[in-house]
Structure 1
Amino acid sequence: MTSGPTSGPDDLHMLLGCFVLGGLSASDHQAFTEHLRGCSQCQQEMGQVSGLPHLLDLAAPTDLPEPGPSGVPDLLVKLSRRRRRTRRLLAAAASVAAVLLVGVGVLLGPRLSTSPAPRELPTARYAAVPAPGSSVKVEVAVVTRGWGSQLDVSCEQLPTGGELSLWVRDRSGRATQVASWNATATGYATVTGATAVRPPDIRVLEVRTGTGQVLASAST
């Protein structure tokens, strides 16, 4: 697309489309460049159509006809129609995808919900007997683990000062400390301890003070 020499302001204004598409002769290109510096209308329209060459590169050659006598306006209208049609197609595709995803969720939902619940680990619960002169309340849950035993302790009416601990005595008579904690102002505490001694080998559970005094014990 080329154009002959042009000199009038109105003619220069009409060169905008050819300037954007790179179809001006050297003399017209120089004339329009000088005109563009001082024409606010051309500067505004230039900003609106400056992306046209990139759009033309993206469009398939068979999709866009050669510009007619009306030039850039016709091309912009055709491109606008193509873009609206593309957006409609993409929106329809997105709707179909959403429906398919919902359908998959409906099909998979019952299967997922009917999967077996996690197997509950074997647990034995013991209520400790307070030692003479003690009013503590202690419950211990001994959970079987592959590595040994997990001990979940719940205590009430404990001393409100000092250090407290949970001990395990195995079948050989050996005592092992499996948890320790500081006393609370409320006398209440929940603690989890661990030991390599397996539940069948635990014989006695004891809650002691920091000085070794037994506050409560439970035989398994």
Structure 2
Amino acid sequence: MSDHERGGTDGGGRRVRVLLADDEHLIRGALAALLALENDLLVVAEAASGPEALAMARAHRPDVAVLDLQMPGKDGVAVATELRAGLPACATMIVTGHGRPGHLKRALAAGVRGFVPKTVSAQRLAEIIRTVHAGNRYVDPELAADAISAGDSPLTAREAELLELAADGAPIAEIAARAALAPGTVRNYLSSAAAKLSAENRHAAVRVARERGWL
């Protein structure tokens, strides 16, 4: 998107360079158009997947990356984690339609500075982008309250990892190969996770953990 020489940035501060990543093209396009009306913001790149978001961030070096939580390839938190390591000057925000508690905790652990629902207005989002760019943090109050009330996940990091690998219905042998573990070890971890979640099997455990925001 070109840098319109419009508004109050001439002679003033440099515009805040923004990357938008969302796999819903209509939403992303509408948001880009609305943010373009803000004189101090400039959308320098757009992406429709996690890997594309990383590539665009490396190519355009935005000040703020606005990331959809659920994207193909890598989710927003995974992208934020990689950007924190590889492009630390880029602040990250997560925009989500699924504000589950575990997602917020993962995002904060990954250094995400903004966590907002998709119901936020474009004008409010622009304000939050400025807040994040200034080095501050913004977490939607309702999402924060939900995270506090939900409590911590009972799953260990390994149990959560294996449940994620089981989420697409992969057989034990495939999960074991991907995790570099013995099949019997994988069964033990998945059984433990299912027991902690009072689920009858690993598929039900995945569902319960996702509903509670622990995956």
TM-score interval (norm. to shorter)? under 0.3
Question: Based on CA coordinates, which of the two structures has the bigger radius of gyration?
Answer: 1
Output the TM-score relative to the length of structure 2: 0.24
Output the TM-score relative to the length of structure 1: 0.23
* Higher helix content, 1 or 2: 2
Which structure has more relative contact order (CA 8 Å, sep 6+)? It is 2
